[in-house]
Structure 1
């Protein structure tokens, strides 16, 4: 009898919890007025419902958008996420009301290890620290004067890139696009940061450590359910060891006078990004420590390498698949510099078709389908977006890939058509920063937290792409045909990296 009563109480409690959670999931707890979303399970919300689907999160988001509309809520364990997918709502939040949505939510313990408690431009909360770090970054790395001053770095790296491609083609008959492009972009960014040229084997070592860091900081189950303390402790131990490895890999660069094997200091003192960090006192605090400098330099190299290299590989996929695109690019380049001339940074800014190919690559293959998580900056009552409440601290996720796929905004959005960005096309008036007119694509974000190095990234993509098409004719590898299937790493990459046959022009 007692067992029957206990069982009845248990069943009744479970039913009550289920009904309560269903009500909470739909209403956001009443006064919060959260956007609608799928009913969840007690304690874990929608977390396991999504995990058990065993498919990329973006496909789940697309289905939920069709059911719940352009803004909806997911309760992922103890993390509340508001997903925003509509161009007008994204523009309102990031551009029109930029300061309100410019902060970052609370980070996971593992991410805090690698950001030194959010002492990084991408992760810092909106305020004095972020402003100081970003201001320094812009003036010391991406200002027009600094870009001109460091033009020789790109010239040196691109020359090595072209020679490496020719050597690899001679040895193997094919070239690995991503591997070579990552190495070149990474070498440019390392030289910009440290003012030094270093051997390729050292670049590969740094690149390997950064890749480990990126994989370590991708979302994990313990981020959503911190109660999994045993799992988190193991991950934290691994993260701290990797962090020590990351610091050791850079230690020789922190003090300019230190001798490092294979290191050739080539920039004058004051021209390297690291020079500006030593002695910098950002916000209301003292000078940066060694690990904080490592964090800021790593941020530049890791973010800039992956996004630029991935974009170049996707562009070359279409260059290889559609020879008419390649020939039109080549003709434009030859008309500008001749068959034997050298393409420089000023030249690529005067090539409208090259620019159109790059923009269409960003539209069709954005580096990421989501922006980094945003959060409401103000404390207290929730702000309103789309008629719903957005409380402070909630993860606001902007699903930007839908904007580039929306048939209401683009003609035949699934097609790769660079011409759409030329005069008369449906993308001719598009602004990559999203500050002018309708927001139709945002490969670098928008508003206050737009990637501060977006113009530098575009320059690297244009310059490398132009030099590669000018120097070689690109053809499919008959043993490994181009495959546009996507997979999801730090950026959206090709599942099977592109290989190509190249012929000297």
Structure 2
């Protein structure tokens, strides 16, 4: 009888403990008392199981939670505490007004650390001396006006090949696929900018495919939220190591050839075409960032891969979405064509300075960014120290997730937000909108503040040139009996579920 009473007492205490533990997790997400409110969670797993069981993409869940919990709320995803920020004013406060406070990155998973060589990358480095050195070097060596002008021949070469290729594909098939062609072209530009080399289309496709696989394998997986499960996912780590080896085997030969060209003037097959100092990797050979010392082949591969991947996906995705609307709305397409021929003529060469004189082209690209942001979230931010936002406590190291898609859909910011209307940027609610978010946050295709994509202006240049050249040369029409499908799907960027196919007719 005595033992039974003790058992009942112990069980009772356990139940009381579990009850308070449950309440603690449900109300606070397992963090400090003053975290933003959020959905009730379960012990240990938080909201993770609830999200998995819904079998919907995360962004649809976020949209519903925003309606219930407001512009800032907390989710406990396993051991990962996430503060979701969706309000334009709060985003501007965090990223711009108080940029240094929210400029760091949270901890990375073992797989991501493998590919970043321990966060030795501009996107993933914590806010500090290493990040400053890598970013300053990138900006100085790749995207200054002088360097952009010096490398204009690369864009001319790649886009000329692009025009020949889409013409050939359309002739052979009766139509062409926009995304695959644009990815190949942008990737070839960035490979040449990074390594100073012209290589075959087959090698470009191989690099492009490997880097796409890298982006997919570094996407969040279950062990990222519950590290205790990591031993059960040894196969994924094995696959990641094999892919990393493949990435190194693909890119290290390019790096070695470039180094031999820089140091000894060697250039077999005349592969190296950029002068010494004009390729991004040239600047990395002598770079010694604080806390790291001299970089090696692994760091070179990581930093060049980062530049190629980020620039290829966002630019190609934006071009595809823009061309979708030009195919679906011939009036917009003809208005753009008229602007192009007024600027350079029907057969005139479109130079980089010409696209800066095309306001309607700029409006189309901005409206594409607004209507189809490349990602619905920015890369995860983290506070550099315990701080406050909207009256709540944001602990250092917590995942601060900036949900930007709602901003571009907010009827308080945009009139008829679901409509694709470039004119809004010429005389409407888009006039004066800053895509960098510096003055105010109304759209953030490249992020904002200290962590804004450093090559955002280069990306826009590639997008403008591709669209202008394709519209000048061809009239774009839907494939007969197969109209474009604007449905979205989610890869590294938000892309068309069914890639855009179009018929092209030479302009006369």
TM-score (norm 2): 0.95
What is the distance in 2 between the residues matched to 1:271 and 1:408? 46
2:411 maps to 1:407: yes
Quick one: structure 1 residues 42 and 284, their matched pair in 2 at CA, closer, same or farther if it must change by over 3 Å? closer
Map 1:203-282; keep pairs closer than 5 Å. 203-255=204-256, 256=258, 257=260, 264-282=271-289
Which residue, out of 333, 336, 345, partners 1:329? Answer: 336
Query: Per-residue deviation at 1:285?
Result: 3.5
2:440 maps to 1:418: no
Query: Per-residue deviation at 1:347?
Result: 0.5
Q: 1:369·1:400 contact (CA, 8 Å) conserved in 2?
A: yes
2:44 maps to 1:43: yes
2:315 maps to 1:308: yes
- What SS does the corresponding residue of 1:133 show, helix, strand or coil? helix
Q: 1:226·1:232 contact (CA, 8 Å) conserved in 2?
A: no
Q: 2:106·2:397 contact (CA, 8 Å) conserved in 1?
A: yes
Tell me the alpha carbon deviations over residues 27-81 of structure 1, each in whole angstroms, 9 at most, x when there is no partner.
3568541000011011100001011111110110010000001000000000000
Map 1:452-467; keep pairs closer than 5 Å. 452-467=454-469
Which residue, out of 446, 449, 469, partners 2:448? Answer: 446
Tell me the alpha carbon deviations over residues 396-445 of structure 1, each in whole angstroms, 9 at most, x when there is no partner.
000011111100000010110000100x3101010111112x31011000
Match of 2:172 in 1: 171
Moved over 3 A (4+): 1-16, 27-32, 258-263
Q: Which moved more, 1:203-212 or 1:20-29?
A: 20-29
Query: Per-residue deviation at 1:282?
Result: 1.6
What is the distance in 2 between the residues matched to 1:169 and 1:43? 55
Match of 1:97 in 2: 98
Match of 1:475 in 2: 477
Q: 1:198·1:263 contact (CA, 8 Å) conserved in 2?
A: no
Q: 2:30·2:76 contact (CA, 8 Å) conserved in 1?
A: no
What is the distance in 2 between the residues matched to 1:4 and 1:272? 78
- What SS does the corresponding residue of 2:75 show, helix, strand or coil? strand
Query: Per-residue deviation at 1:139?
Result: 0.8
What is the total number of aligned residue pairs between the two structures?
A: 500
Query: Per-residue deviation at 1:211?
Result: 1.0
RMSD over aligned Cα atoms = 1.8
Q: 1:78·1:225 contact (CA, 8 Å) conserved in 2?
A: yes
Query: Per-residue deviation at 1:478?
Result: 1.8
Match of 2:352 in 1: 345
Q: 1:343·1:463 contact (CA, 8 Å) conserved in 2?
A: yes
What is the distance in 2 between the residues matched to 1:462 and 1:346? 11
- What SS does the corresponding residue of 2:250 show, helix, strand or coil? helix
- What SS does the corresponding residue of 1:403 show, helix, strand or coil? helix
Tell me the alpha carbon deviations over residues 296-336 of structure 1, each in whole angstroms, 9 at most, x when there is no partner.
00000111100000000000000000000000000000000
Tell me the alpha carbon deviations over residues 345-378 of structure 1, each in whole angstroms, 9 at most, x when there is no partner.
1010110000000000000000000000000112
2:363 maps to 1:356: yes
Q: 1:93·1:101 contact (CA, 8 Å) conserved in 2?
A: yes
- What SS does the corresponding residue of 1:122 show, helix, strand or coil? coil
Q: 2:29·2:46 contact (CA, 8 Å) conserved in 1?
A: no
Query: Per-residue deviation at 1:24?
Result: 3.2
Q: 1:121·1:133 contact (CA, 8 Å) conserved in 2?
A: yes
Match of 1:54 in 2: 55
Match of 2:296 in 1: 289
Query: Per-residue deviation at 1:118?
Result: 0.2
2:376 maps to 1:369: yes
What is the distance in 2 between the residues matched to 1:374 and 1:207? 27
Q: 1:82·1:395 contact (CA, 8 Å) conserved in 2?
A: yes
Q: Which runs of 5+ in 2 are unaligned?
A: none
Tell me the alpha carbon deviations over residues 267-311 of structure 1, each in whole angstroms, 9 at most, x when there is no partner.
001100010111111224321111001000000011110000000
Match of 2:435 in 1: 432
Q: Which runs of 5+ in 1 are unaligned?
A: none
Query: Per-residue deviation at 1:116?
Result: 0.3
Match of 2:131 in 1: 130
Match of 1:119 in 2: 120
What is the distance in 2 between the residues matched to 1:79 and 1:334? 54
What is the distance in 2 between the residues matched to 1:49 and 1:284? 41
What is the distance in 2 between the residues matched to 1:370 and 1:260? 43
What is the distance in 2 between the residues matched to 1:340 and 1:492? 34
Match of 1:21 in 2: 22
Q: Which moved more, 1:173-182 or 1:255-264?
A: 255-264
Quick one: structure 1 residues 403 and 317, their matched pair in 2 at CA, closer, same or farther if it must change by over 3 Å? same
Q: 2:407·2:443 contact (CA, 8 Å) conserved in 1?
A: yes
Quick one: structure 1 residues 261 and 210, their matched pair in 2 at CA, closer, same or farther if it must change by over 3 Å? farther
- What SS does the corresponding residue of 1:350 show, helix, strand or coil? coil
Q: Which moved more, 1:285-294 or 1:110-119?
A: 285-294
Map 1:134-145; keep pairs closer than 5 Å. 134-145=135-146
Match of 2:110 in 1: 109
Query: Per-residue deviation at 1:26?
Result: 1.3
Q: 2:29·2:41 contact (CA, 8 Å) conserved in 1?
A: no
Which residue, out of 398, 402, 426, partners 2:402? Answer: 398
What is the distance in 1 between the residues matched to 2:250 and 2:242? 12
Match of 2:85 in 1: 84
Which residue, out of 377, 384, 388, partners 1:384? Answer: 388
What is the distance in 1 between the residues matched to 2:46 and 2:269? 53
Query: Per-residue deviation at 1:262?
Result: 6.3
Match of 1:317 in 2: 324
What is the distance in 2 between the residues matched to 1:242 and 1:28? 35
Q: Which moved more, 1:468-477 or 1:11-20?
A: 11-20
Q: 1:199·1:263 contact (CA, 8 Å) conserved in 2?
A: no
Q: 1:403·1:440 contact (CA, 8 Å) conserved in 2?
A: yes
- What SS does the corresponding residue of 1:343 show, helix, strand or coil? coil
Query: Per-residue deviation at 1:480?
Result: 2.8
TM-score (norm 1): 0.96
